[in-house]
Structure formats: structure tokens, C-alpha cells
Amino acid sequence: MERSQQKQIVEALIVAAGEPVSAARLAEIVPALDASDVAGLVAEITRDYEDQGRALEIWEVAGGYQLRTHASVAPYLRLLHRERALRLSRAALETIAIVAYRQPITRAEVEHVRGVEAGPVLKSLVDRKLVRIAGHREVPGRPLVYATTKRFLEVFGLGKLDDLPTLREVEELLPPPDAAAQVTPLELESAEVGESAPSPSELH
């Protein structure tokens, strides 16, 4: 099959899927397409979009490819999707960060780290499918343990959990922190994630 035709099909599949589609799945469907060639085709499609000045990008998130609107048009999309705008409070962000790095984790453990009650926040994160109940810890009381979901990866544009920014080691925090050192890691980390996705993550 012609490469141009394969490219068309890959594009169509990603558009129609909505959810992230893995390279393996695409290769399974598209005739004579090897999984290792998928990334190349997707990159071409993304480049086409870019050259044509389209409002679309293909991202590699949660183990698959997903078509998304460009960040530059976000304000308008937010007007369209008023009801589903994803707002996360500081409490929610902190809780989800703790769950992400420490999963599977119990409610009590989350509470120990944050120093406040975690039940209501966990509940709202489960409601929003960012966190799921991953079973029980086999200790007295068999407390439930929480883990992040595929949706979490999708929302934060992460390919897999390993793509999370590195948690600073406690030792690194020991020397007196100077103001400059606190800014750099943030920029570095976001830049890294931008590179792992096939499309740029700059916001402007």
C-alpha cells in the first residue's frame, strides 16, 4: 500500500478514535504498516498541520496518539466547553501528585504527607477519573489504595508515568535553597515533556 494512503488512514483513525490509539493498534489496522513506522507517519501528519497553519496537533499521550486542538485557540475552546473545563485546586494538584509518585497509596498515607484530611479531595479526583481505586492493601483494616488513571496521563500530556517530572530528593532540599535554584527545575522539566511529545507544548 502506498505510503500516502497509509498516512491518510492513520490520520483518520486518530481523528475518529478520540482516545489515544497506540502504535501497535494502528499497525494492526493499517495494511502493511509496521509499528516502528507509525511515529514517522504521525510526525509527517503533524508537520502537514503545521505547514498548513491548522489548529490541530497530534500528541503522544497515555501510550498512544491523540488529536488535539492547538493551545493558541484554547480561550475559544474553553467557551465552547464551559461545562467541562478542567479546574484543579491546589489541594487537588498536591493530592494527585502524591498519588502519582506513591501509588498505590492509601488515604491515610496521603493525609500524612499533606497534613490534612484527604477523603473529599480523593473523592473528587475519582469522580473526575484522574484517580482510581486500585484495590486493597493487605494489612489490618484492608484499606483501599489509590492509583492514577490513564486519563491522568492524558490530561497532563504524559506518555507514561515515568515522564513525570523528577521529584527532588530530600537531600537536595537540605542545603539552604536559593531563589534562583527554585525556578530552573520547573522550566527544565516542562521543556523535557514538550520534547517527548511530537508536538510543541509551548503555550503561545
What is the rounded CA–CA span in Å between residue 159 and residue 149? 12
Contact 149, 161 (CB under 8 A): no
For other proteins, which is the closer residue by CB, 2 or 87?
Answer: 87
Answer for which of 104, 143, 159, 198 binds other proteins (CB under 8 A) is 143
Q: Is 97 in the site for other proteins (CB under 8 A)?
A: yes
Q: List Cβ<8 Å contacts ≥24 apart for 19-25.
A: 19/64, 19/66, 19/154, 20/60, 20/61, 20/62, 20/63, 20/64, 20/65, 20/66, 20/150, 20/154, 21/64, 21/65, 21/66, 22/63, 22/64, 22/65, 23/64, 23/65, 25/64
For other proteins, which is the closer residue by CB, 2 or 138?
Answer: 138
Contact 157, 62 (CB under 8 A): no
Contact 95, 125 (CB under 8 A): yes
Answer for which of 4, 52, 82, 90 binds other proteins (CB under 8 A) is 90
Contact 98, 105 (CB under 8 A): yes
For other proteins, which is the closer residue by CB, 2 or 179?
Answer: 179
Q: Is 17 in the site for other proteins (CB under 8 A)?
A: yes
Chain positions 183 to 202 lying near other proteins, rule: CB under 8 A, are: 185-186, 189-190, 193, 201
Answer for which of 34, 35, 48, 120 binds other proteins (CB under 8 A) is 120
Question: By rule CB under 8 A, what count of residues binds other proteins?
Answer: 76
Q: Is 11 strand, coil or helix?
A: helix
For other proteins, which is the closer residue by CB, 103 or 190?
Answer: 190
For other proteins, which is the closer residue by CB, 3 or 117?
Answer: 117
Chain positions 151 to 170 lying near other proteins, rule: CB under 8 A, are: 154-157, 164-165, 167-168, 170
Chain positions 44 to 83 lying near other proteins, rule: CB under 8 A, are: 56-57, 59, 61, 66-71, 74, 77-78, 81
The three cell numbers locating residue 201: 507544548
Residue 97 CB, nearest distance to other proteins (Å)?
4
Residue 193 CB, nearest distance to other proteins (Å)?
7
Dihedral sign for Cα 50, 52, 55, 60, please: negative
